[in-house]
Structure 1
Amino acid sequence: MLWIPVDRTAEKPLIRQVYDQIRQQILHGELHAGDRLPSTRELAEDIHVSRNVILEAYDQLLAEGYIESRRGSGTYVAEGASFAFAEADIPQPAAASFASSAQKNSDIINFRSGLPALDHFPRKLWSHLTQQIYQQADASLFGYDSPEGRLELRQALSRYLLRTRGVRCSLDQLLITTGAAQAFSLLTNLLLTPDSRVIVEDPITNEVQTIYTRSGATLVPVPVDMHGIQTDLLPADERAAFAVVTPSHQYPLGSILPIQRRIALINFARATDCYLVEDDYDSEFRYSGPPVSSLQGLDPERVIYIGTFSKILSPALRIGYMILPSSLITSSRQTKRLSDLHSPTLDQLVLARFIEEGHLERHIMKMKRLYHKRRDTLISSLNHTFGKLVQIEGESTGLHLVAAFPGINFTDTAIMQALEQTGVQVYPVEIHAVHTGYHSHQIVLGYGNLTEEEIIEGVKRIAHALQAEV
């Protein structure tokens, strides 16, 4: 008799339950090659299910080669269907794992940087524009499209970026990407070989480091101070493929690169014949004056400009863009096509209309007021709670700031565990450092997706965790 328990209260269909259990018994060798299985009628009666359930389960097992049917004889386990693997290698049900994780972390206040206020996404307006686009779309728009992106979005973007960021480009220079991460990845195919060298700010986001080291490139770190990358330390004898910089809001330290260093950076790139990759990820949210002008506007043929809508609107949109020197236009389109053919067409059209009708700039102004309040709440809470024990840096722009606690080492596992146990998650600057040991006293605190109440409570929890240290 074949033992197959079924659970009629489970979400998994009975057919799948029967199929899964027979399959597992065959894979684990509990049912051996040549073993005869009960007839569909016998098994249906034994476990009290419809015969159709057993028929469909057997059909699936037969189609996948686990069993074989012998005319006039019955159904047997097929040869070569057992598989020896460790029990620990069998993945656990994702739903159960997710539920336990969500329950465990439901009260965590997460100071993750780069995350906008997700509950303030303009859902109603976006839904309305999406409906318009889908209703008006020609049938051809549901087919394959051009790798560089829709003309409508590139036109809207070029006008917006010139007006707000001083970016100068032709429409041909604009390439729509699936977020900034894809843009960085495309550069590995465009410009890097396994022996290439890439100059990076130190510290710089760990994601950028990973993308380029995985391509085989060697990173050449240049230290950052309170004014950004220290251009006087750029290696004059270095022949790098490009240098990655965040001049409008350095990540993670938050500094703004002054014009003198911008000029020095461009002169260095010209002298060493390398490109500059300008990562402009959240500079729209500047709280004292308008956004800083782009580096790209100073030398469009030397600077590769990368932007994204993940911080302005939502990471879920997966829309970013690159502005490339004219010499890279053709190769970038070929590389993009080989990567994913093209970015989602209709989403691009929705975003284009969102920009053209002025909704983007109104949304930015609205969110700027909200983030300003959240930033001020965080600064006030830190100062009120820690006083002179904390130093606040990089707070003028963006969705995060850096809190420095001299004498505290946030690479200490015990300290990070204490923070987690009090229900707060922070991010050491040190995890973004190429040369470690210089930023262990600093943490990145993102506030974009936290309410003012959560920010105040989060700072209290940080203080509770650090009480033995400060």
Structure 2
Amino acid sequence: MLWIPIDRSLDIPLIRQVHQQIRDRILNGQLKSDEKLPSTRELSSELKVSRNVILEAYDQLTAEGFLVSRMGSGTFVAAGAFLEHHKKEPSFYSSNWIEENKIDENTINFRSGIPALDLFPRKTWTKLSSAILSDTPPSSFGYDIPEGRPELRKVLSHYLLKTRGVDCHPDQIVITSGATQAMTLVSKLLISPEDMVIMEDPITNDIQTIFKTTGAELYPIPVDENGMKTSLLPLNKNPKFVFVTPSHQFPLGGTLPIQRRIQLIHYSRKTNCYLVEDDYDSEFRYEGPPVSSLQGLEPERVLYIGSFSKILSPALRMGYLILPLHLIEKCRKLKWFSDLHTPSLDQLVLARFIKEGYLERHIGKMKKIYKSRRDFLINCLKTTFSKKVNIFGDSTGLHLIVEFNEQHFSKGVLEKIELFGVKIYPVEDHAIEKGKHPNQIILGYGHLKNEEIEEGITRLCQAIYNANTRNKSRLN
């Protein structure tokens, strides 16, 4: 008799339990080809379930090809339903975002680029979302155009001209699912295998990965307190583009001065390459007036990338790519093949959020909060470490750089620091040419309250002291 364990406490229907267990036994070879199964009456009696349960399970298995019914003979296992299973490889994950999800909730995480998620303007967003859902025509619920809603592109072009000096027509804008998709589109648009791309060094490791995946060769140019050292741009190379973060270099924080911007433009003209401008964190500038975009100086050579992840929330997955006119049509096709279009209703809400002035008010509010948190972090670092550290890259954005005079952050040291319940990020992780930034770390503060910042720096100090004390004792 075929014994099938039935568990009536489960939410899984009895029919599904019977079906699944017989199916699995056929697939793994426990029930052999041409083996006869008990009649529906026998099995229902044995399992103490309604005969209809067995009838429906058998019918489903027959429809799927696992069983065959022979008139006057009964029900049999069909031929060819055995599937040999190979031993599964152990799961292996190395992605940074997977590791981030594993961080203990009691750990103070100084990850950069995270805004104050608890201060997202929920009430306003909810009000506008409700209005959009009530007022928008039925056509807005269908498939849309790949470049994005015209309402958002129009309001965005006005906003960027006003705040960033970006010179573009709404038709030059492609709405993307964040800056990451914008960079992926750029790589597909401009790069072929073995093409050269010039990049700042260090630069976000994720961006390096995006461009290398397309087959590009990365040519690093060092950065200093003023961003990319444009005097080191190679005249004997033919790059597809130069990738820069001129308003706020990540991770070191420099702002590219006008002289270097002009050098970049002259270089792009001489080598006939594009400039890809990632306008990273430019909205939150705490010292001096806002810096205009590179795109405003050379619209026909600059591809401009922006995002609302730091301004509002990464969960929105809303960004944009501004293109020279001759690249627009090709990019629209790439966007269509990528995901058809970015969610339309979210675009309409964001368009109204910008048009009615909520975005500028939100940025003004958050700028004060982030500046206060930055100042508090700097004070904690100076109080705790005194003259042992140098702080820079703090004039803009949601992170700063701490350079230790006598401390290197090897993998072992970082692991010991994490044992103390604090997570920090070395600049070296983002370096193309390794070995130049072993004593520098990135501390993000936008998402941390003052008490978390203070506790985190205290733990960091304790962890470094503990690691160094153990190392000295071993040497003795």
TM-score normalized with structure 1 length: 0.91
* 1:421 aligned residue (419, 422, 427): 419
Cα shift readout 1:14-34 (whole Å, capped 9, x = no counterpart): 444444433333332222222
Cα shift readout 1:98-140 (whole Å, capped 9, x = no counterpart): 9xx9797232222221111111111221111111111111122
Q: In structure 2, what is the Cα distance between the partners aligned to 1:450 and 1:105?
A: 15
Q: In structure 1, what is the Cα distance between the partners aligned to 2:437 and 2:316?
A: 33
- Corresponding residue for 1:188? 187
- Corresponding residue for 2:393? 394
Q: In structure 2, what is the Cα distance between the partners aligned to 1:180 and 1:28?
A: 46
- Corresponding residue for 1:461? 459
- Corresponding residue for 2:81? 81
Cα shift readout 1:33-80 (whole Å, capped 9, x = no counterpart): 223333444444444455555445444444443333334433333323
- Corresponding residue for 2:272? 273
- Corresponding residue for 2:380? 381
- 1:107-118 to structure 2, matched below 5 A, reads 107-118=106-117
Q: In structure 2, what is the Cα distance between the partners aligned to 1:301 and 1:103?
A: 44
Cα shift readout 1:369-414 (whole Å, capped 9, x = no counterpart): 221222222222222222222222211111111222234332x232
The alignment partner of 1:467 has SS state of: helix
Q: Match of 1:380, as an amino acid? A: N
Q: In structure 1, what is the Cα distance between the partners aligned to 2:167 and 2:361?
A: 23
- Corresponding residue for 2:146? 147
The alignment partner of 2:363 has SS state of: helix
- Corresponding residue for 1:368? 367
Q: Match of 1:32, as an amino acid? A: K
- Corresponding residue for 1:206? 205
Q: In structure 1, what is the Cα distance between the partners aligned to 2:21 and 2:407?
A: 54
Answer yes or no: is the 8 Å Cα contact 2:416–2:467 preserved in 1: no
Q: In structure 2, what is the Cα distance between the partners aligned to 1:382 and 1:431?
A: 22
The alignment partner of 1:198 has SS state of: strand
Answer yes or no: is the 8 Å Cα contact 2:249–2:280 preserved in 1: no
Question: Is 1:438 equivalent to 2:436 in the alignment?
Answer: yes
Q: In structure 2, what is the Cα distance between the partners aligned to 1:134 and 1:204?
A: 40
The verdict on how the C-alpha distance between 1:27 and 1:356 changes in structure 2, with shifts beyond 3 A counting, is same
- 1:218-367 to structure 2, matched below 5 A, reads 218-367=217-366
CA-based RMSD of the aligned residues comes to 2.4
The alignment partner of 2:345 has SS state of: helix
- Corresponding residue for 1:447? 445
The alignment partner of 1:200 has SS state of: strand
Q: Match of 1:85, as an amino acid? A: H
Q: In structure 2, what is the Cα distance between the partners aligned to 1:30 and 1:330?
A: 57
Which ranges of structure 1 fall in alignment gaps of 5 or more residues?
A: 93-97
**More displaced, 377-386 or 34-43?**
34-43
CA offset at residue 437 of structure 1?
A: 0.8
Which ranges of structure 2 fall in alignment gaps of 5 or more residues?
A: 93-97, 469-476
Q: In structure 2, what is the Cα distance between the partners aligned to 1:91 and 1:47?
A: 37
- 1:21-36 to structure 2, matched below 5 A, reads 21-36=21-36
Identity %: 58
Answer yes or no: is the 8 Å Cα contact 2:26–2:81 preserved in 1: yes
Q: In structure 1, what is the Cα distance between the partners aligned to 2:38 and 2:283?
A: 68
CA offset at residue 144 of structure 1?
A: 2.0
Q: In structure 2, what is the Cα distance between the partners aligned to 1:56 and 1:379?
A: 69
Q: In structure 1, what is the Cα distance between the partners aligned to 2:450 and 2:277?
A: 32
CA offset at residue 209 of structure 1?
A: 0.8
- Corresponding residue for 1:95? none
Q: In structure 2, what is the Cα distance between the partners aligned to 1:108 and 1:39?
A: 59
Q: In structure 1, what is the Cα distance between the partners aligned to 2:51 and 2:123?
A: 49
The alignment partner of 2:249 has SS state of: coil
CA offset at residue 83 of structure 1?
A: 2.5
Answer yes or no: is the 8 Å Cα contact 2:227–2:255 preserved in 1: yes
CA offset at residue 454 of structure 1?
A: 1.7
Answer yes or no: is the 8 Å Cα contact 2:250–2:280 preserved in 1: no
Cα shift readout 1:221-256 (whole Å, capped 9, x = no counterpart): 111111111101111111111111001111111111
The verdict on how the C-alpha distance between 1:355 and 1:24 changes in structure 2, with shifts beyond 3 A counting, is same
CA offset at residue 334 of structure 1?
A: 2.1
Answer yes or no: is the 8 Å Cα contact 1:129–1:353 preserved in 2: yes
The alignment partner of 1:38 has SS state of: coil
TM-score normalized with structure 2 length: 0.90
The verdict on how the C-alpha distance between 1:38 and 1:368 changes in structure 2, with shifts beyond 3 A counting, is farther
- 1:91-110 to structure 2, matched below 5 A, reads 105-110=104-109
The alignment partner of 2:414 has SS state of: helix
The alignment partner of 2:218 has SS state of: strand
The alignment partner of 1:468 has SS state of: helix
Q: Match of 2:455, as an amino acid? A: E
Answer yes or no: is the 8 Å Cα contact 2:421–2:459 preserved in 1: yes
Q: Match of 2:340, as an amino acid? A: L
CA offset at residue 159 of structure 1?
A: 0.9
